[in-house]
Structure 1
Amino acid sequence: MSKNEIVWGILGAAKINDKVVMPMHSAPKCRVKGIASRSPDKAREAAAKYGLSVAYDSYEALLADPEIDAVYIPLPNHIHVEWTIKSVEAGKHVLCEKPIGLDTQQVDRLIAARDKNGRHIQEAFMVRTHPQWLTVRSLIDEGAIGDLRAVTGGFTYNNTNPHDIRNQSELGGGGLLDIGCYPITTSRFITRREPRRVVALMERDPQFEVDRLGSVLMDFDGVQASFFYSTQIHPFQRMQFHGTKGRIEVEIPFNAPADRPTRLLISETTSAGVGTDRWLEVPVCDQYGIAAATFAEAILSGSPQAIPLEDARANMRVIDAVFRSARSGAWEIIPVN
């Protein structure tokens, strides 16, 4: 590709755009041209809010614009696959919010669409390109905490709004797909392994019929990773990595702030056998802007994507197994292929 920038279009006027659009617009080699909505009024309001030049009165109108190179999709979970496929068939690259599909079979459809149309598709797990997570991975690879043996974590918030799409089962709502997927992808990222089996407990809301509380144990053959998630308890998030010589704690692992540094707590054992704690600050950055810039660079240069669809498929295999275990009450093996 001879271009030196990627021109973006936003497919949907979702609330998360408040975090994404401006960092994307100012990211290296990126420019956001416009936003589409099924409501022309919402599209115009959003375009004015973000200072974009074009408000498209339909998703189809945005996809028909030949200047748009890539689309960001923040639509409800149950239509991610539909509009990702329509986008690549229109010749656009796609950065789609997580979960990019509702199960492994849906991700297989996306892989087929990618291969057929020759366009990049990536799941928008912005944590995977945040410098704090790259730092954690490097520290563990370098042996800063000895041999990694256990991972623990949690991610929660409290939302009982019946109108919120995360509480609507028919729209792909529920805690595992919304936030439980984060400890899964980061555990896989840090260990550089795939879990071979999982066991899980899950509680569903009797009114919304979505999972509101879950506990998961993943067996990485030598590393045990456990986490809990909930959509109806006090907000909390933390990830910890425990090794034979120390521990790393990620203070704000998932909703990393864009206005102040993030911090890692590193607990180590000195040569004298004394334990010491130190905080490592990671400089201020915007994880949404970094994710957009990294994706744009892969498109422009032909370099490997940070999160290829095969990785999204592997993550979804774990999610599928968690749901199966919650139903069976037993360990569930995760298929290798």
Structure 2
Amino acid sequence: MMQNPVNWGVLGAAKFARQYMAPAIHAAEGARLAGLATSDPTKAEPFQAFCPDLTVYDSYDALLNNPQIEAVYIPLPNHLHVEWSLKALDAGKHVLCEKPMAMTVSEFAPLINKRDETGLLAAEAYMIVQHPQWKFVRKLIADKAIGNLAHVTGAFSFDSRADTANIRNRAETGGGGLRDIGVYVIGSARFVTGQEPVQVESAIRWEDGVDAFTEIRAQFPDFTYSSYVSIRMHPHQEMVFHGDRGMIRLTAPFNPRVFGEARVELHRPGLEIQVTRFPADDHYKLQVEAFCRSVREGAEYPCPLEFSRGTQEVIDRVLENAVALP
């Protein structure tokens, strides 16, 4: 047990913070959920239900001005991420900001510069790299468990059309499927292989200024890649790494326990399938614990800003190269 837990504050009473990240901070070893900033006291009540000693601030600035708060989690709408990450760093706080941390790759420069200038930890909340299933898959690929990797496919979809007020359905808040969930199908391939795409092609179906469906095709140095994301389709998620001597399939790669049990299938010659299960791991909690170890002990953080910048660079290329679908 870490003797000196990191005091955390949350900027905004977002649904995602209420359901997942605030409970994860509260439960994580080495962390203490100490503050929540919201102008609506009723929105704080569900947080206080599981964290009764939580201090509620009526503004983001009021929380940032408290020297007792050491780290902040930022679940604000996408277009506000850079602004409030920089403000938090200027206030002397470590920052864990929801993905996408920036809207374009150029916005990473001030974030990285401010991180280096302050010596504070700043990172995107890209939680999947903390999950043991992804570390397991990365090792399988490195160990040539499926031979030479030939092709990667990815899919992530859900249907939010009925929720018209959802920030994912609004162009002015940086909505759309690509920024919200495209980071997973793109970033996971980069994380597992350590490679970057040399060529990117894409097609997008636009709806009221947001990408409702995005298809991506890419060439990496050693393999080809295809994926799609959608906020207008039946819920589905899957990642497949296909080699010349086997195949790896992740059945709940991005929302394990919510979408289903995390399982890694290793398909071998002769139609043999070896299944490794990860029924209990909470990647949100693991993310907070890794962040706290970096803050307190100087441990290397598994997902630095440079990695997130690489994913954003691919997203920018997808948007720039996209053919419009009817």
Please classify the TM superposition score into its range, dividing by the shorter chain length. Answer: over 0.9
State the distance in 2 between where 1:317 and 1:246 align. 30
1:28-39 map, 5 Å: 28-39=29-40
**Could you tell me how far apart the structure 1 residues matched to 2:282 and 2:198 are?**
34
Could you list the runs of 5+ residues in structure 1 that have no partner in the other structure?
330-337
Query: Aligned runs of 1:185-224 on 2, under 5 Å?
Result: 185-205=187-207, 208-224=208-224
200 and 87 in structure 1: CA distance in 2 versus 1, 3 angstrom threshold: same
Q: Structure 1 residue 168 and structure 2 residue 170: aligned?
A: yes
- Residue 139 of structure 1, CA deviation: 1.2
| Deviation of the 1:275 alpha carbon | 2.9
TM-score, L = length of structure 2? 0.94
The answer (yes or no) to whether the contact 1:34–1:56 under 8 Å persists in 2 is yes
**1:33·1:68 contact (CA, 8 Å) conserved in 2?**
yes
Q: Is 1:310 the equivalent of 2:306?
A: yes
Asked if 2 retains the 8 angstrom alpha-carbon contact of 1:215 and 1:227, the reply is: yes
Deviation sequence 1:175-205 (CA, Å, 0-9, x none) = 1001111110000001111111200000101
What is the CA distance between 1:282 and its match in structure 2?
2.0
The Cα shift of 1:260 comes to: 7.5
Worse-superposed segment, 32-41 or 238-247: 32-41
2:290 equivalent among 277, 289, 294: 294
How far did 1:51 drift? Answer: 3.0
Alpha-carbon distance in structure 2 between the residues aligned to 1:311 and 1:278: 31
5 Å-filtered alignment, 1:237-252, equals 237-252=237-252
Which one of the candidate residues 291, 295, 319 is aligned to 1:323?
A: 319
Determine if contact 1:153/1:238 at 8 Å carries over to the other structure: yes
- 1:84-233 aligned at under 5 Å gives the runs 84-160=85-161, 161-205=163-207, 208-233=208-233
Give the AA of the match of 2:318.
Answer: V
Judging changes above 3 Å, is the alpha-carbon distance between structure 1 residues 67 and 253 closer, same or farther for their aligned structure 2 residues? same
Equivalent residue letter for 1:152: T
In structure 2, C-alpha distance between the alignment counterparts of 1:25 and 1:259, rounded to whole Å: 23
Partner residue in 2 for 1:334: none
Note the 1:48-87 alignment, pairs <5 A.
48=49, 50-87=51-88
Measure how far apart 1:28 and its partner are: 1.3
| Structure 1 residue 47: Cα displacement | 3.1
The two structures, once aligned, show a CA RMSD in angstroms of: 1.9
Aligned equivalents of 2:301 and 2:146: distance in 1?
29
Alignment of 1:250-269 (within 5 A): 250-257=250-257, 261-269=261-269
Comparing 237-246 with 48-57, greater Cα deviation is found at 48-57
Distance, in Å, in 2 between the alignment partners of 1:156 and 1:11 is: 27
SS of 2:14's equivalent in the other structure is coil
Assess if the C-alpha contact under 8 Å between 1:158 and 1:231 holds in 2. Answer: yes
Q: CA deviation at 1:293?
A: 0.4
State the shift of 1:225 in Å.
1.3
Q: Deviations over 1:233-255 (max 9, x none)?
A: 11110000001110010000001
Whole-Å Cα distance in 1 between the matches of residues 3 and 296 of structure 2? 7
Where structure 2 has 5 or more consecutive residues not aligned to the other structure, the ranges are: none
Over 3 Å counting, the alpha-carbon distance change for 1:328 and 1:108 in structure 2 is farther
* Distance in 2 (alpha carbons) for counterparts of 1:259 and 1:214: 21
Query: Following TM superposition, by how much is the alpha carbon of 1:259 offset from its aligned partner in structure 2, in angstroms?
Result: 11
Asked whether the 8 Å contact 1:40–1:58 carries over to 2, the reply is: no
- The partner residue of 2:276 within 262, 269, 280 is 280
How many residues are treated as equivalent by the alignment? 322
Question: Counterparts of 2:39 and 2:72 in 1: how far apart (Å)?
Answer: 16
Task: Work out the percentage of aligned pairs sharing the same amino acid.
Answer: 39
